[in-house]
Structures are given as C-alpha cells and as structure tokens.
Amino acid sequence: MTTSQAQANDNKTTAHQKADFDAIVIGAGFAGMGLLHSLREAGLSVQVFDKASDIGGTWTWNRYPGARTDSESYYYCFTFSKEILQEWSWSERYPSWEETLDYMHFVADKCNLWPNIQLNTTFVSADYQADRGLWLVRTEAGEEYTCKYFISGMGMISEPVIPETEGMDSFKGPLFHSARWPEGTDYAGKRVGIIGAGATTVQLLPVLAETAAQVTVFHRTPNFILPAMQKPMTPEWEKEIKDNYDEIIAKCRNHVFGMAFDSPVNRTVADTPPEEVEAIFEEHWNGSFRWVFETFDDLLSNPEANRLASAFIVKKMKERIEDPEIAELLTPAPGEYPLFAKRPPLDHGYLEAYSRDNVKLVDIRDREPIVAIDETGVRTTENHYDFDIIILATGFRAYTGGLEAFPIRGQSGQSLREKWQTTSKSIMGVCVADFPNMFIVTGPQAPFANLPTSIEQNTQWITHCIKKMESEGFDVCTPKQDAEDAWTAHTAEIHEQTLMAEGDKVNSWMMGANIKHHKPRVLIYFGGANVYYDKMDESVEADFPELQFDKLA
Ligand code: NAP
C-alpha cells in the first residue's frame, strides 16, 4: 500500500472500513485500467492486481502470431479522454496484439496508472466478511489484502478450455493453449498441429503457414467466416475519425452490439424484393461485422433472412477455397445452424491458406476423430500425425471462467462456481445476489458487444454506485435476489426468441456449450447492448433499485 493510500484509509471514520484499499480490481486489461482511472478520479484508493507479467488482459495473454482485434481500431479503445483519442494514432483497420498492447501502455503512462497496478500476482481466494463489510483476498504468495469493493475486470474470455484428450502429457515437444503462447516460440521450419478451428485459428493459421514446414488443423464444426478486409489507416481516414469522435462514441453507445456502425438501416429482408437482397449483400461486402448490421435489420431475428445471409457467406467463402472437398468441410451446410449461433470469425487469409502445399485440414468430426496425443503427435482413428509443436486453440470458458477459477465466496460462504452450477445468474452482468460490495465488468448475462464500449458503460455504473455509497456513508450494498431473478428471467426470455438460442447444438461458447460436463445456459443478454446501456442509465437515475444499501452498526 502506498503512503497516500494508507493516509486516505486512516481518514475513514468507522473501524470496519479500515481496509488496505477502498477497491481491489482483479485484471489489468481494458476493464481494470478503466476502473482504476475512474475510481481514482472519484477519490478512492484502488489497487489492480493481475497474474500476468504485463498489463493488457486479453492482449497480453493472446500473443499468438496473427492475433488482432476484430473490432475496428478506432472504436476498440478507451473514450474517457478526448486528449488520448486525439493523440493516439492507429496504423491499421484492425490492430495487431502488439499495437493494441502499445496503446494500452500509452494509456497507462498517460494516466499514470502504473503505481496502482501489481502484476505477477495470482489470487487464490476472495471472501466476503459480513461482520466488517470487507473483502479479504489471498494471493498465491501468501499475501492478504482487504478492500471494501472487490471488482472483477477479468474479462469474459480469459479462462482457456483444455481438452481432456488422452496422453496429452506424453507429447515430447511444446504443447500449449493459444492464449498461453510461450514467448519466443520458434515455429519456422517446424511441423505444427492446431487442435480447434475457431476465431483464434482463423487468425493464427495464415501467419504460421508462411514459415512453418507444415501446419495441420484438426477441425470439427465449420464456421461462417467473414472477411476482415484489412487496410492501413490513411491520414485522410484518421482525420475524418478524429474530427468526428463524438459521433463515433455516440454510435457505439447506441448500437445493438456497441459498434460504430450505421445501423439500424430501417430495412429488412422480409420487406425487400428478393432480387434486391443479393445486390444489397454484395454492395456491403466490405469487411468486418458491419455486413451483418449494415445490410438488413432482421438477419439475426428472422430465420429466412438469416438463411439467405448464411447462404451468401458460404457462397463467398467457397469462391476463395480452391479444393471443393476442403470447401465442403470449412463451410456450414444449409440449415446446419443459424449465422451467429456461433460467433463468426473474421478472416485475414485463412481460407486461402488451405491452398498452400504445407497446410492440411483434418476432419475430426465425421472422418477421423482424435483418439489420443502421444510422444510424437496426434493419433486419430485413421492416421498418426507427427508434430514438433501442438497448439490447443480450443477456446475459453466464457463469461464465468475467470470468476470460477478460484473460490470467490459471498455472504453465505458459497462460491460463485457453486452458485453457478446450472445457471449463471446475475443482475445485468455486474452484480450477483449473495455477493455484497462485489462488482463484475461484463459478467454473465451482460450483452456480447464491442468490449471497450460495454466495459466503459459498466465502469460508469459501478463508479456511480460506489460514489453513492461513499457520499451517503453506506458500508454495504447488497444485490437483491428478486432483481437477480428478474434479470435472469428477462435475459432467458429474450434469448429464447433469438436464433442464437441454437448455439447449444454447435458447442457455442456463447452458451457455455463448449465446456464438457457443463450444462449449456443463457450467458448473454441479447436484447441489444444499447437497450442494456439504457437500462444501466435508468438504474443510476432510479438510485440503484437492484441494490439494498446499509450502514453497519
Ligand atoms: P472457439 O471459437 O471456441 O473455437 C474453439 C475451437 O476448438 C472450435 O473449433 C472447437 O470445435 C474446437 N475444440 C474445442 N474443444 C475441442 C476438442 N476437445 N477437440 C477438438 N476440437 C475442439 O475459440 P477461439 O477460437 O479461441 O475463439 C473464442 C472467442 O474468443 C472468439 O469467438 C472471440 O470472441 C474471441 N476471440 C477474439 C478474437 C478477436 O476479436 N480478435 C480473436 C480470437 C478469439 P467445435 O466448434 O466443434 O466445438
């Protein structure tokens, strides 16, 4: 604890408030950095902890070759400082992880965040102590810290899923998850196996294939893959962006997925003559998720519109894949599942990579499932594949993974993991009943959206709530059970009406259906990020009706 923080805490009036920090934030990515800035501005002592050796969250863990944002750079960023928005220059439409990390360092320097960030620190438990109204956290190194507010900024996609394949420990070469890429891994001239073919592999494969001797992708479910259409940031484009940042921020705030898109377009497939639909699809085929939102407003809600969009994407994908057999494997069959029941990846040369002599696709769903990993490679029912390196690009335990990775115990002593055995309930993804004075940024049942937008909206709500607590002298805010039940029911009702509800058929992480021994569930609020942000604002205006505020005796 710094001297100034200690002094700040000594000034607290009641004994139970004598904590090491007003707020502890776990995770030093966008959420942790944003919270640190916002809560410090509000006068709190804040300490951010992260088990990584650098800030950056997702962008420090996912250092695999080719990793880059799928949102366009100029709105995948903090918007709280106009100065930073003007000073920072992006080099590309979708920045690499290196550039994104440079940006985060720039923000940390600019806002002097470093003194309140402690890296290389793994929490092993967090317990709410009702008698003191404090949280007690313990670290792997045996340190203990107390705080009044315990906040998760661990992100919605942070905890890797490791398959239970037999013999994994026996492989002699490096074998690792894509989100734990060992620094300096030399894959040039090597035989590389990649298990999994989601958004990560779509980014990774084309880069690996440039120098690896051989890359083999073990593939199960095909994806609807949209082209990224990368392009450099030109001075003219940058000027246009920087001259219009208020509008861009407003677009994100008011968009169903928190993106700076020009939608809704007030046009639906249902109301458009069939011959015009294809022409509009074609005209907007300019890269990014824009295509889904700037063509028609009913692609994700009307099954027929979704079917037409899906068929268009598959047609476009097939145009770029040389081998018809590979094209069949890589593209979803008609009616297999709706577009967006699985999160579509953005492509920077993935489909073309399969035309290379050194790239091989193995269908482990229908033709030759993996049987085991052994000393030298991967054994399927039909073949043995020899590798020097094996990469598990097998995804994440989304939304709940970080929060369930170590015991976080609330008022009753029950952990989040125990509470979330069958449903991952929350209040707007930011609070959980039985967990007083705890907040989550983009927790379960929050929307799936451009993350910096949602993170900033959540940060504002949390900061408002804490400011209320402090200014009105409250010690404890308790999320109400009935508010949690109501949000969970509302989220489930909306989910049922969307085509994303079919995600459990295709192991979608958006429903936790990618996790073995785990019941698929409603993890995402699909009522529109903009509607959700409105609800958060209404909650602030109504003085947080979801929470009960108390003073300790
Ligand atoms: P993912 O989309 O969940 O894909 C995991 C892949 O591994 C799937 O192909 C899955 O097959 C396969 N798999 C899982 N377990 C397996 C097993 N036991 N045996 C064989 N195959 C297995 O994971 P991801 O590619 O890491 O992407 C996850 C999410 O992270 C993305 O959707 C995205 O939101 C985020 N992400 C973002 C970016 C970005 O924005 N730039 C980049 C990468 C990732 P099935 O489909 O058959 O289950």
Residue nearest to atom 24 of ligand 1 (CA): 395
Cα-to-centroid distance, 346 and ligand 1 (Å): 12
pLDDT tens across 245-276, in order? Answer: 999 999 999 999 999 999 999 999 999 999 99
Residues 411 and 102: beta-carbon distance below 8 Å: no
N- to C-terminal Cα separation, the chain: 27
Measured at the CA of 426, the angle between CA 411 and CA 345, to 5 degrees, comes to 135
Q: How far apart are CA 278 and CA 144, in angstroms?
A: 61
pLDDT at 8: 45
Q: How confident is the model at residue 553 (pLDDT cuts 50, 70, 90)?
A: confident
Q: How many CB atoms lie within 10 A of CB 11?
A: 7
Joined together, the tokens standing for residue 350 give: 């993935």
Question: What's the sign of the alpha-carbon dihedral 103, 108, 109, 111?
Answer: positive
> Ligand 1 pocket: which of 61, 98, 200 to mutate (most atoms <8 Å of CB)?
200
pLDDT at 17: 56
Residue nearest to atom 3 of ligand 1 (CA): 395
Cα-to-centroid distance, 396 and ligand 1 (Å): 7
DSSP 8-state class, residue 178: G
Cα-to-centroid distance, 327 and ligand 1 (Å): 19
**What mean pLDDT comes out for the span 101-119?**
98
**What mean pLDDT comes out for the span 96-107?**
98
Cα-to-centroid distance, 516 and ligand 1 (Å): 14
Q: How far apart are CA 30 and CA 38, in angstroms?
A: 12
pLDDT at 113: 98
Residues 529 and 364: beta-carbon distance below 8 Å: no
**What mean pLDDT comes out for the span 332-344?**
97
pLDDT tens across 115-162, in order? Answer: 999 999 999 999 999 999 999 999 999 999 999 999 999 999 999 999
Joined together, the tokens standing for residue 113 give: 């965040």
pLDDT tens across 450-498, in order? Answer: 999 999 999 999 999 999 999 999 999 999 999 999 999 999 999 999 9
Joined together, the tokens standing for residue 306 give: 């979704």
Residue nearest to atom 18 of ligand 1 (CA): 163
pLDDT at 13: 44
pLDDT at 18: 86
Q: Specify the ligand 1 atom closest to the Cα of 196.
A: 7
**What mean pLDDT comes out for the span 269-292?**
97
Cα-to-centroid distance, 345 and ligand 1 (Å): 9
Is the pLDDT at 517 greater than 70? The verdict is yes
Mean residue pLDDT of the chain comes to 96
Residue 262 CA, distance from chain mean position: 23
Helix-, strand-, coil-residue percentages of the chain, each rounded to 5: 35, 15, 45
**What mean pLDDT comes out for the span 222-227?**
98
Q: How far apart are CA 155 and CA 22, in angstroms?
A: 21
Pocket of ligand 1 (CB under 6 A): 68-70, 157, 163, 195-201, 203, 218, 220-221, 343, 364, 393-396, 507, 509, 514
Q: How far apart are CA 116 and CA 136, in angstroms?
A: 18
Residues 378 and 195: beta-carbon distance below 8 Å: yes
**What mean pLDDT comes out for the span 337-365?**
98
Q: What percentage of the chain has pLDDT greater than the value 70?
A: 97
Q: What is the pTM of this model?
A: 0.96
Cα-to-centroid distance, 393 and ligand 1 (Å): 6
Q: How confident is the model at residue 11 (pLDDT cuts 50, 70, 90)?
A: very low
pLDDT at 43: 98
Q: How confident is the model at residue 169 (pLDDT cuts 50, 70, 90)?
A: very high
pLDDT at 6: 42
3-state helix/strand/coil string of 4-28: HHHHHHHCCCCHHHCCCEEEEEECC
φ, ψ of residue 197 in degrees (nearest 5)? -145, 55
Joined together, the tokens standing for residue 329 give: 């494997």
pLDDT tens across 378-421, in order? Answer: 999 999 999 999 999 999 999 999 999 999 999 999 999 999 99
Give the DSSP H/E element, type plus range, for residue 476.
strand 476-479
Q: How far apart are CA 22 and CA 39, in angstroms?
A: 9
**What mean pLDDT comes out for the span 436-441?**
98
Measured in residues, the chain has a length of 553
Residue nearest to atom 48 of ligand 1 (CA): 507
Buried b (16+ CB within 10 A) or exposed e, 243-264: eebeebbebbbbbbbbbbbebe
Residue nearest to atom 26 of ligand 1 (CA): 395
Is the pLDDT at 4 greater than 60? The verdict is no
SS3 218: strand
